[in-house]
Chain A
Amino acid sequence: MKYMSSAGEYNVEKPGTLIARAARLAPELRRPFAAAVAVTFVATIIRLLGPLVIREGIDGGIVAGDRQTILLAAAVYIGLLGLQYIADGLSQWMVALVGERYLVRLRSVVFAKLMRLDAGFYSRSKSGVLVSRMTSDIESLQEFASDGAVMALSNTLTVVGVAVALGVVDWQMALAVFAVVAVLVGVSAVFQRQARRAYDQVRERIGRVLAMLQEGITGVRVVQAFTQEQAQASTFGRVNERYFEANMAAARAISWYFPVVAFLRVVALGSALAIGASRVMDGTMTIGTLVAFLLYLEWFFQPIINLSNVYNLLQSALAALAKLFGLMDEPVVIDDRPGAYDLTEPVVGAVELDAVSFSYDPGTLVLDGVSLKVGAGERLAIVGETGSGKSTIAKLIMRFYDPDAGRVTVDGDDLRDITERSRVDALALIPQDGFLFSGTLRENIAYSDSSASDESVWNVLRAMGIDDWVRSLPEGLDTEVRERGGRFSAGERQLVALARAFLFDPSIIVLDEATSNLDPETEVQVEGALRVLLAGRTSIVIAHRLRSAERSDRVVMIDAGRVIAVGTHTELVESSPRYRELVEVWQRGTK
């Protein structure tokens, strides 16, 4: 690989580095975060006061025989509960506000970075993995933000608070309870390791189940055509069973952990009672203290269990952060260099490749010293076999990549010296499949300029002779194209892509012609629209059919990364045997 990814600098083993960097991303959220922590702290303190009030009610009221005190304690407790409701609610709310705001920022920043990365990065990475940075990785952070963060914060404070309170109430009893809790922490650690492993497996296997399910549905016609229903069902059954087994492994872990926790709870209760009973009977402890202690105990176990769950969420959140920062640190290869300047307006559109060499992987040259001139307004067809390097030429002209050697120029200026903005305005690519975005037809045609008026869109359509087609659609320009233009044929998608380019009005057009057969009617329309679009512009057409080559001003034939013939169609038919062969193949297919 040409560019090494710097991912790996961040990893879960260094949570401090990760969190510090995460905090740097949104400095304006530090104050709100501090406020949220403060409110949570207050809420925890209020909660911890409850049992102390009850102790007073018992010792000062019930034991002392004072009704007034009992009622007073009850009234105070109700007051505290009112405060606790407000503080608790506020804490939940504030932590969520901060967390979700942070995620909005993170999504935006990561996506912006994703779009700045170059074609080389995209061809090295699987698109599914890129998408998962923005989806499953950020979603695991979301899970932490929406549930984990509050839990982590309030449960930690509660555990610390209760531990302190227990110690204050009676340190000997507290020690006995801490001993049990130490066992609980150990047991939880073992369980978490086991559960994590089990759930990793569950996640992996559900992925397979869903993938195979999807395949079984989308491929059902092939399955039936070859009567593979039973074979498919039994393969699926096996995959599904493995998922069941993974789930049961997790179930087994849960089925020993929670009973043990419940038992430990009773042990803690028993030891508190044993110590407390003898102390109360000695007269060294009040009965109210014992009851308060029992109440605190209830709040000690659940937070610890919660925290061990939160730990899992935190781990996957940190892992996600590490991956996201790895992406953020990818170098941006194609960018304005210092001192980059705009092309001189108006752009004439002369394109030249000067001794250009290029390789995707070091060692395998895709282009080997290609020199090529396209005059302003000229239509040049590039022909050659699959893999000859003809698409790479198009990509270099679009500056999706920079050449390893040599240079690509527009109007004599090296693309690397020109500002991105200026280059983008001068050039447009029409990819093979046209590529439509979800949205309306209007949005797709006016993609480069969403403020374009209906009138200018219709002008484009009329000029290209496809206004009748759009009018024939049920909702005209407002027709939803559906996913990737699924409701349109390949030819219709081409038409939209051509109209989009026409509205953009670039000086130079790079067209990767579709290989698939269009239905005859649309083919005629595409031809017509193309003629209008290319008139007066420089165009480089990756040609897959005879007619395109015939209509071009000149044809370049590429073979194994080199130019092997240049000239008009007629010239090449006479002078190049390789070209003649290609033309004959084309002719067999069409005549």
Chain B
Amino acid sequence: MVEDRSNLGDLRVGVALLLRVIMRYQGVVAISILGAMIWMAMILSIPYLVGTIIDLVVTRSGMSEVWPLLGLLLIAGSIQAVGISLRRFFGFKLSYRAEADLRNDIFTHIQRMAFSFHDVTSTGALMARASSDLSQLRLILAMTPITVANLVMFFVVTAVLIVIDPVLGLTASLMVPALLYTSGRFAGRVVGFSFDLQERLSQLSHVVEETVAGIEVVKSYGQEAHQQRRLDREAETIYDAAIGMAKQRAIHRPLFEIIPALGTVAVLAVGGIRVLDGAMTFGEFVAFMQYLAVMVLPLLITGWFFANLPRAAAAAARIDELLSTAPDIQEPDHPERLRSGPGEVRFNHVSFAYPDGTAVLSDVNLTIPGGTSVGLVGATGAGKSTIAHLIPRFYDVSSGSITIDGVDVRELSLDELRHEVSVVFQESYLFSASIAENIRVGDPMASDDSVRSAARLAKAHDFICGFPDGYETVVGERGSTLSGGQRQRVSLARGVVRDPRVLILDDATSSVDAIVEAEIQTALAQVMAGRTTVIIAHRTSTLALVDNVAFIEDGALVAFGPHDELLATVPRYAAVLAAQVIV
């Protein structure tokens, strides 16, 4: 699922994207870093104040000298609080804003990418770009301001400690690399394990989903024990991953306390003797301990930051790659307008091959007179769908051209072209929305009346009215389930609601049973009347409705003419059709 491509090139690209994002929100970043700096300055002043107070105590200087310092301590505490607030709030704002904006960019980009891109890109990969990859980016961004301040702080503290006492300062500062290393190592390992764990969790959920979906088969074959074994196996692998992670925690986490404590021991032993020797004051000794304590959390966070940076950079690089891929289908610079006309569609010497070189159509010449219907017939893989998909420019022809009423489809704006050419797909995809909204996808401005009449035309009105919520019934993944035939009729209604000049039906009645199809047939006849229609169908009953049939074999147009005529004159046509009525 998550490919680990944290190589150097990615790192550079990824960090470059991170920097670009940071520059885009420089105001927010600046305030957050300012807050972090204030926080850091105060957190450094507090051990100093404590040390000074302790010295006053040791010298029995009296409380009157202590009180002002305690006052200063409280003031430092309040300023520190303001610093933390600024740092946190604007750090979050940076990360969430950048995440939201990038997610919008990704979504918009995905919407614009052409069919050829989606044919070869998995949903899972795109989802990962806009979810897990973005989260990694966000976490790193949120931690960037505090890391800047932390790095400054380690430098300053080390310097201060060395100035107070060079020997002890150097000894105690050993804690910095030790803790950074441990925390980085731990974060690095745990990240690996947690990806692994996620992967295994999703495998287990896959077994559960499958069992729930196939429960009738499981029960029918009495295979509960078999499914149980599969699940128990997955549960065991989750156990292994979780325990592997626990082992890392057991090894590393105690060190997060032990290493600073060792620093304290060093202060006690070395510092104690220095105090006895008069080389440092007791207050300085206590301040040392406090400085070490103050640095622990920042060190852990910084270790985490650098351990996760390569992964976040790799995620950023993947996002960058997606966003910088241009869509194959481009709008013309100066679009022409479609002339008013009957909707004549003409293929002129059209050839088409997929980007990988697979040739699908070769030199197709086809004229569909305006207002007439044509049925595309051919064996699976002959190129029927491709012919249909070239008209609304889901793909562009490799050579030749396609015109509608004399205008090349590539000269039209996509908006106008696809408004005039309506497609009903074989897979009737419905959105998680009401039926009315799903039909309105075809024409957002459609009135209630035209939604209803489109549904009537598609023979969907009656079953829609049978639902308690009628047209407001929510369908799709999060709503109630429609049967295959019902879905197809809703998408048929969606295709006709805008009253398109050209209608393309891509095998749109394949998953309805004969009874329903018989109903749709009458609907189709109405829909097709006087409209240019291209229809891919397996059933001969549909072919009885069309004016002409285009018979396709191996990417070439073999014959064109009325159904009866082809039956009589083209033996191959009769043969292919015969294969279809075997049922």
Contact = CB atoms under 8 A, between A and B. Distances in A.
The answer to whether A and B interact is yes
Interface of A: 47, 50, 54, 57-58, 61-62, 65, 67, 70-71, 73-74, 77-78, 81, 84-85, 88-90, 92-93, 96-97, 100-101, 103-104, 107-108, 111-112, 114-116, 119, 122, 127, 130-131, 134-135, 139, 142, 145-146, 209-211, 213-229, 231-233, 236-237, 240-241, 243-244, 247-248, 251-252, 254-256, 258-260, 262-263, 265-267, 269-270, 273-274, 276-278, 280-281, 287, 290-291, 294-295, 298, 385-386, 398, 400, 420-421, 424-425, 427-429, 431, 435, 437-438, 447-448, 450, 484, 500, 504, 515-517, 519-521, 523-524, 527, 544-547, 582, 585-586, 588-591
Given A81-B265, A92-B253, A240-B100, A589 B429 contact: no
A229 B262 CA distance: 60
Nearest to B226: A450
A87 B146 CA distance: 33
A528 to B, nearest CB: 11
B139 interface: no
29 contacts: A47-B257, A78-B265, A81-B265, A84-B254, A84-B257, A92-B249, A96-B243, A96-B250, A108-B235, A115-B218, A115-B219, A115-B227, A142-B242, A210-B131, A215-B477, A217-B110, A218-B429, A244-B99, A259-B80, A263-B80, A266-B46, A287-B58, A290-B57, A294-B286, A386-B516, A424-B220, A428-B221, A515-B484, A523-B582
Nearest to B119: A221
A115 B215 contact: yes
B211 A115 contact: yes
Contacts of B236: 104
Contacts of B336: none
A480 B443 CA distance: 42
Contacts of B100: 240-241, 243-244
B63 A247 contact: no
B258 A85 contact: yes
Contacts of B85: 255-256, 258-259
Interface in B198-250: 201, 204-206, 208-224, 226-228, 231-232, 235-236, 238-239, 242-243, 245-247, 249-250
A348 B411 CA distance: 71
A242 B131 CA distance: 16
Interface in B252-304: 253-255, 257-258, 261-262, 264-265, 268-269, 272-273, 275-276, 282, 285-286, 289-290, 293
Nearest to B417: A227
A380 B109 CA distance: 55
B5 interface: no
B456 interface: no
B65 to A, nearest CB: 10
Interface residues of B, number: 151
Contact of A81 (B112, B253, B261, B432): B261
Given A270-B74, A385-B515, A516-B484, A588 B541 contact: yes
A116 B211 CA distance: 12
Given A57-B272, A225-B425, A108 B231 contact: yes
B60 interface: yes
A211 B478 contact: yes
B346 interface: no
A495 B30 CA distance: 65
B510 interface: yes
B163 interface: no
Contacts of B422: 225-226
Nearest to A265: B77
B77 A135 contact: no
B220 A135 contact: no
B214 A255 contact: no
A585 B515 contact: yes
Contacts of A213: 103, 107, 127, 130-131
A90 B53 contact: no
B76 interface: yes
B1 interface: no
Contact of A62 (B213, B227, B238, B276): B276
Contacts of A280: 57
A547 B478 CA distance: 37
A317 to B, nearest CB: 15
Nearest to B203: A438
B512 A515 contact: yes
Contacts of A270: 70, 73-74, 77
Interface centre among A145, A215, A225, A228 (most CB of B within 10 A): A225
Interface stretch (B87-95, B154-162, B349-357, B366-374): B87-95
B103 A240 contact: yes
Contacts of B214: 435, 437
B97 interface: yes
Interface string B96-125: 110110011001101111110010000100
A585 B201 CA distance: 49
Q: Which 6 A-B pairs have the closest CB atoms?
A: A266-B77, A96-B246, A424-B222, A251-B92, A88-B254, A259-B81
A101 B123 CA distance: 35
Given A263-B81, A424-B222, 8 more contacts: A84-B261, A88-B250, A112-B228, A217-B126, A220-B110, A223-B111, A259-B82, A546-B514
B88 A520 contact: no
Contacts of A521: 579
Which of B60, B131, B272, B443 gathers the greatest number of chain A CB atoms within 10 Å? B272
Nearest to A127: B212
Contact of A224 (B97, B418, B498, B579): B418
A210 B443 CA distance: 25
A298 to B, nearest CB: 5
Contacts of B238: 100, 103-104, 107, 142
Contacts of B255: 85
A521 B114 CA distance: 33
B494 interface: yes
B217 A435 contact: yes
A103 B239 contact: yes
A254 B246 contact: no
Contacts of B224: 112, 115-116
A460 to B, nearest CB: 15
B56 interface: yes
A448 B223 contact: yes
Contacts of A214: 123, 127
B136 interface: no
A482 to B, nearest CB: 12
Contacts of B53: 273, 277
Contacts of B201: 135, 139
Contacts of A97: 243, 246
Nearest to A497: B217
A217 B127 contact: yes
Contacts of B62: 281
Given A134-B208, A219-B431, A57 B246 contact: no
Contacts of A85: 254-255, 258
B92 A254 contact: yes
B340 interface: no
A546 B243 contact: no
Contact of B54 (A232, A236, A274, A287): A287
Interface string B403-414: 000000000001
B92 A233 contact: no
B4 interface: no
Contacts of B56: 277
Contacts of A400: 216, 219
